[in-house]
A and B are shown apart, each in its own frame.
Chain A
Amino acid sequence: MERTLITEKLAAIFRNVFNDDAIILRDDLTANEVANWDSLTHMLMIGEVEKVFSVRFKLKELGKLENVKNLVDLIEQKVKS
């Protein structure tokens, strides 16, 4: 799957889970900058990403996600393998 398509799908997940149609994904976007990104919505977001991309993250992988770029990189790597 192409990186652009991953980002598009991810943006749709973010807008839905964080309930904000105006969210624009940037590489350096972090949890602290998104209003509704709390412990519950984070779990929902991870769950949606795993479902939409048919992937399963390891805990170690989740612990290294500091921004959107890290997440896109991880999805790209997972869907390729």
Chain B
Amino acid sequence: MSEYLIRKAIVNDIPFLADVVIASEKGMSDRLSFATLFNKTEAEVKDLIMLMLEEETEGCELSLSSFIITEFEGRPISGSGAWIEGLNGALPSKILKSNLISYTFGEKSVRYLRTKAHIVQDVLIEREPMTLQLEYFHILNEHLGKGLDADLMHRIEENARAQYPGLGKVQCQIFKNSVFSIKILLRHGFRIAKSYKSADEEIFDYLPYNEKLVMEKEFKN
């Protein structure tokens, strides 16, 4: 592990983090909801994700401050995003994220979303206040299987406890077909707490899968 450096993300990491967000959003599919639901190309989405990260709205999955990076030979090779929901009286992350999207994607995209919103409604899940929310977790393929996930998970939890010592739980919302990520989470002590499934077959055209899991792990304080 000595050749890996884990650190907080900085502005220069934003292009890499946009790739992390895109890869994590797609999971085991080629569907990118930021593109399908807003009628954008993947290249346009990457630019918009970079813009959102540059805004630095703290307290949601699209905050630069939510991310940590692993560096190998001076280059980022993994990115992970996590935040404590509603910490210090912050607005719910669903609102912060939606504000960012409304502002950066613009009116046309939001109008397009209006025609598609009903398709994904069943898999929108509320986040539990004052829990650690793990959203994005991506390691470049050539660095998989080297135990990096354990170090990242440890660092994410350590950072969160430093911010909020009373932290009781970490949660992760994940599509059920993300078998590799689910395996990693189970290995790190997560369990499947809830499942949300859509009966709308059209969802497969817009999202990676029709079922989302809430996985969680409780901390002993």
Using a CB–CB cutoff of 8 Å, the interface residues on chain A facing chain B are 31-32, 38-44, 46-47, 50-51, 57-59, 62-63, 65-66
Using a CB–CB cutoff of 8 Å, the interface residues on chain B facing chain A are 55, 57, 91-92, 94-103, 107, 110-111, 113-114, 117, 120-121, 124, 126
B residues less than 8 Å from A46 (CB atoms): 98-99, 102, 110
A45 to B97, CA, bound (A): 14
What distance in Å separates the Cβ of B212 from its nearest Cβ neighbour in chain A? 13
Q: Which residue of A lies closest to B97 (CB)?
A: A39
Q: Name the prevailing secondary structure of the A interface residues.
A: helix
A22 to B111, CA, bound (A): 25
**B98 touching A42, Cβ below 8 Å:** yes
A44 to B95, CA, bound (A): 12
**A47 touching B110, Cβ below 8 Å:** yes
Q: Which residue of A lies closest to B58 (CB)?
A: A63
Q: List 17 A-B contacts (CB under 8 A).
A: A31-B92, A38-B126, A39-B97, A41-B117, A42-B98, A42-B99, A43-B98, A43-B101, A44-B110, A44-B114, A47-B107, A47-B111, A57-B103, A59-B55, A62-B99, A63-B99, A65-B95
Q: Which of A32, A41, A50, A63 contacts B96 (CB 8 A)?
A: A63
